[in-house]
């Protein structure tokens, strides 16, 4: 299954080398001056529209498209789509002709949701005397390339449709990447291969980014580089069953290979061992905070710790390393200077609405109780939302509780180098804010780090954002401001809930996420806790709100109340089919929740 778009290549009747590009409409403004003041530069691309599938017999259309009869696309409504595209650029149906099917391009597996495939149809403007509308211009492949490489910040940009449909085919070269997987090359020279990884839903892949310039230039001679190479790969984090595919990508690359890791999470480093075996001469670059969490089994050979501000030279092309903490304390980004493309790691994800749960990692110095809450990297297919109400028994709850603790211990050992001999607190967080000052300071710094890194990216004015999960983003400033607005709006909502009487974690979560599926309240609670601690550090909480009592509600109290809320929602939705044992189980869980609620109030 996929959705389809039609991209129209409309040729200039006075110059066969030129085709029409349309100025793309940016996303709507926020209506807030602080964010609307950051504006992305103009983006030009082939005009396009959604291509609809028609059920049943499709009557012959008014547009005759040569070559379409030899494809499996005959049941799509090309007439309607072409009319809409022509109308979009100010033309009528009889203004164009000589229609020809050019190609059908399948999108790589970026996710989330269905892939978007593109059908390219070429034609010509028949009226030689027709003036172009102000939002259109004639461009050639060469003029597009001049906008795409060796760019200046905030200059006009060329979009992916023209690059993937025309420019990449015009650059005659050997196969860019040796893989059976679908991949994308945009901007030119920046190859993105989504590979299945142990990442968090709704994503299933991590983007492997490959730079392998075929021609070497001398642009890097005047710089002091931390590393040189003929090829670069970023974040090899695929699953074990995709290691053979990763090997196929890496093996043909130059032995002078540089490996760059944005951060240490498993879905970004799981393939390091494959590269180390394939190319012992390769050099790994990572932040020191990431390097110490990468196991010797993953990488034990040449490595360089970087901290941001350094430059890498790959085949004569310069890439600048940017320290961007927030998602982790060792998170890095990478700016490809020639195309002004910014690889942002997990600071952003490639979906329209920012995922508020991405971007922050819990503090190392919190007791294990703090680690009881949802962490995406540790919970693949083990979510509490998968509980079947009919099979819910107390042994299952116990097993799940122990499984969470086991996963968190493994997380401590793997990512933080915890010594199993060290004592750990399995209780709820301490009731004293002073006793948890290290944790609170870490949380505060991570939130501030995230904001500062976001503003740093905005100031760079990148032409495109390349996340490690999902599609590239063509409106970088708009997306980054969306993240800032989302987090600040969430913090204001939390403060409003507290001012209206919410005192416990479950009260705040239920207020803020009342319209959200109860199964998502657990990961949401982690964000709420971060924001409450941030508000406390800024002295913005009401005087009558007790941060100590709030912290006591972040443990079993929250879990029990959340389970009850989840089961209650399930009960209401399935009440017609429930049997007595299920009702008894639900009642037992309710009693469990009420007991801890009463215990909290008495304390």
Question: For 272-292, what is each residue's pLDDT tens digit?
Answer: 999 999 999 999 999 999 999
**Chain position carrying tokens 């972040």:** 554
Average pLDDT along the chain: 81
pLDDT of residue 419 exceeding 70, the answer is: no
Backbone angles phi, psi at 269, to 5 degrees: -130, 0
401 and 510 assigned to the same domain: yes
433 and 573 assigned to the same domain: yes
Would you say residue 425 lies in a domain?
yes
Q: What does the alpha-carbon distance between residue 244 and residue 4 come to, in Å, rounded to a whole number?
A: 31
Q: Which residue has the higher pLDDT, 392 or 88?
A: 88
Would you say residue 587 lies in a domain?
yes
Would you say residue 583 lies in a domain?
yes
Q: What does the alpha-carbon distance between residue 528 and residue 509 come to, in Å, rounded to a whole number?
A: 7
Summarised one tens digit per residue, pLDDT across range 296-350 is: 899 999 999 999 999 999 999 999 999 999 889 999 999 999 999 999 999 999 8
pLDDT of residue 381 exceeding 70, the answer is: no
Burial label for 564, CB within 10 Å (0-12, 13-18, 19+), is buried
Check: CB of residue 565 under 8 Å from CB of residue 592. no
Would you say residue 38 lies in a domain?
yes
pLDDT at 519: 77
pLDDT of residue 359 exceeding 80, the answer is: no
Supply the CATH number for residue 102's domain: 3.90.79.10
182 and 146 assigned to the same domain: no
511-514's contacts with Cβ under 8 Å and 24+ in sequence apart are: none
Q: Identify the CA nearest to 526 among candidates 308, 410, 371.
A: 371
User: Under 8 Å CB-to-CB from 90, ≥6 apart: which residues?
Assistant: 132, 133, 135, 136
pLDDT at 330: 95
pLDDT at 582: 53
Helix (H) or strand (E) holding 332: strand 332-336
DSSP class of 473: B
83 and 28 assigned to the same domain: yes
Task: Point out the domain boundary residue: 143, 167, 191.
Answer: 167
Q: Which residue has the higher pLDDT, 563 or 403?
A: 563
Classify 101 as helix, strand or coil: strand
54 and 177 assigned to the same domain: no
User: Residue length, the chain?
Assistant: 603
Cis ω for the linkage preceding 273 (within 30 of 0):
no
Would you say residue 352 lies in a domain?
no
pLDDT at 371: 34
Poorest-pLDDT segment among 28-42, 106-120, 352-366 = 352-366
Instruction: Look up the domain containing 323 and give its range.
Output: 173-345
Highest mean pLDDT among 468-482, 484-498, 536-550, 572-586: 468-482
User: Under 8 Å CB-to-CB from 305, ≥6 apart: which residues?
Assistant: 286, 287, 288, 291
pLDDT at 564: 83
pLDDT of residue 34 exceeding 50, the answer is: yes
Would you say residue 244 lies in a domain?
yes
Would you say residue 197 lies in a domain?
yes
Q: What is the mean pLDDT of residues 422-435?
A: 31
User: Could you tell me the pTM of the whole model?
Assistant: 0.78
Q: What is the mean pLDDT of residues 490-499?
A: 92
The dihedral built from the CA positions of residue 414, 415, 417 and 421, taken in this order, carries a sign that is negative
Supply the CATH number for residue 272's domain: 3.60.15.10
Classify 389 as helix, strand or coil: helix
Summarised one tens digit per residue, pLDDT across range 559-568 is: 888 888 888 7
160 and 205 assigned to the same domain: no
Task: Point out the domain boundary residue: 148, 167, 186.
Answer: 167
Q: Which residue has the higher pLDDT, 431 or 508?
A: 508
319 and 439 assigned to the same domain: no
Summarised one tens digit per residue, pLDDT across range 112-136 is: 888 999 999 999 988 777 778 789 9
Report the domain count for the chain. Answer: 3
Would you say residue 470 lies in a domain?
no
Classify 7 as helix, strand or coil: strand
pLDDT of residue 417 exceeding 50, the answer is: no
Cα separations in angstroms, 551 against 157, 274, 374, 519: 49, 44, 17, 22
pLDDT at 234: 98
pLDDT of residue 240 exceeding 60, the answer is: yes
Cis ω for the linkage preceding 86 (within 30 of 0):
no
Give me the DSSP letters along 550-588: HHHTTSHHHHHHHHHHHHHHHHHHHGGG--HHHHHHHHH
Classify 427 as helix, strand or coil: coil
pLDDT of residue 379 exceeding 70, the answer is: no
180 and 142 assigned to the same domain: no
Residues of the chain above pLDDT 90, percent? 54
191 and 340 assigned to the same domain: yes
153 and 195 assigned to the same domain: no
264 and 160 assigned to the same domain: no
Task: Point out the domain boundary residue: 152, 167, 182.
Answer: 167
88 and 103 assigned to the same domain: yes
pLDDT of residue 383 exceeding 50, the answer is: no
Summarised one tens digit per residue, pLDDT across range 154-184 is: 899 999 999 999 999 887 555 678 899 999 9
Check: CB of residue 369 under 8 Å from CB of residue 426. yes
């Amino acid at each position: 299954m996929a959705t389809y778009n039609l991209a129209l290549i409309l040729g200039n009747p006075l110059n066969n080398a030129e085709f029409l590009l349309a100025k793309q409409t940016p996303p709507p403004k926020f209506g807030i001056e602080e964010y609307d003041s950051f504006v992305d530069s103009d983006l030009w691309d082939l005009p396009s529209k959604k291509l609809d599938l028609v059920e049943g017999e499709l009557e012959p259309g008014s547009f005759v498209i040569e070559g379409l009869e030899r494809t499996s696309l005959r049941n799509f409504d090309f007439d309607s789509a072409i009319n809409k595209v022509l109308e979009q650029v100010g033309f009528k149906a009889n203004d164009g002709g000589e229609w020809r099917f050019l190609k059908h391009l399948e999108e790589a597996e970026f996710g989330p949701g269905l892939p978007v495939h593109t059908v390219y149809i070429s034609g010509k403007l028949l009226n030689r005397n027709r003036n172009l509308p102000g939002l259109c211009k004639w461009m050639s492949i060469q003029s597009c390339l001049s906008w795409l490489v060796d760019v200046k910040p905030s200059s006009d940009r060329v979009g992916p449709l023209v690059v993937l449909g025309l420019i990449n085919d015009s650059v005659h070269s050997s196969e860019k990447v040796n893989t059976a997987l679908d991949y994308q090359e945009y901007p030119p020279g920046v190859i993105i291969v989504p590979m299945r990884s142990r990442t968090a839903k709704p994503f299933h892949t991590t983007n492997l980014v490959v730079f392998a310039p075929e021609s070497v230039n001398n642009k890097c001679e005047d710089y002091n580089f931390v590393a040189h190479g003929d090829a670069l790969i970023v974040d090899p984090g695929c699953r074990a069953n995709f290691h053979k595919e990763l090997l196929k990508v890496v093996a043909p690359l130059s032995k002078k290979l540089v490996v760059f890791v944005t951060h240490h999470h498993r879905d970004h480093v799981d393939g390091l061992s494959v590269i180390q075996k394939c190319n012992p001469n390769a050099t790994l670059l990572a932040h020191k905070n990431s390097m110490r969490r990468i196991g010797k089994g993953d990488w034990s050979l040449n490595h360089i710790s970087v901290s941001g501000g350094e430059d890498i030279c790959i085949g004569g092309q310069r890439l600048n390393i940017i320290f961007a903490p927030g998602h982790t304390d060792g998170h890095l980004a990478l700016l490809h200077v020639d195309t002004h493309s910014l690889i942002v790691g997990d600071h952003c994800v490639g979906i329209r609405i920012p995922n508020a749960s991405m971007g922050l990692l819990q503090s190392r110095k919190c007791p294990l109780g703090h680690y009881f809450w949802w962490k995406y990297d540790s919970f693949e297919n083990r979510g509490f939302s998968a509980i079947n109400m009919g099979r819910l028994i107390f042994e299952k709850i116990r097993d799940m509780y122990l499984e969470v603790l086991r996963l968190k211990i493994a997380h401590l050992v793997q990512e933080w180098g915890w010594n199993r001999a060290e004592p750990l607190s399995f209780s709820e967080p301490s009731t004293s804010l002073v006793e948890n000052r290290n944790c609170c300071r870490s949380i505060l710094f991570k939130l501030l780090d995230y904001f500062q890194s976001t503003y740093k990216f905005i100031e760079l004015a990148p032409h495109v954002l390349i996340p490690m999960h999902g599609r590239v983003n063509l409106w970088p400033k708009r997306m980054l401001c969306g993240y800032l607005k989302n987090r600040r709006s969430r913090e204001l909502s939390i403060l409003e809930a507290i001012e209206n009487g919410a005192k416990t974690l479950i009260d705040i979560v239920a207020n803020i996420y009342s319209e959200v599926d109860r199964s998502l309240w657990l990961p949401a609670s982690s964000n709420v806790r971060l924001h409450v601690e941030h508000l406390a550090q800024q002295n913005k909480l009401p005087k009558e709100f007790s941060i100590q009592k709030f912290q006591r509600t972040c443990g079993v109290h929250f879990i029990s109340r959340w389970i009850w809320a989840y089961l209650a929602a399930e009960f209401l939705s399935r009440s017609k089919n429930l049997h007595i044992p299920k009702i008894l189980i639900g009642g037992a869980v309710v009693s469990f929740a009420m007991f801890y609620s009463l215990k909290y109030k008495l304390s």
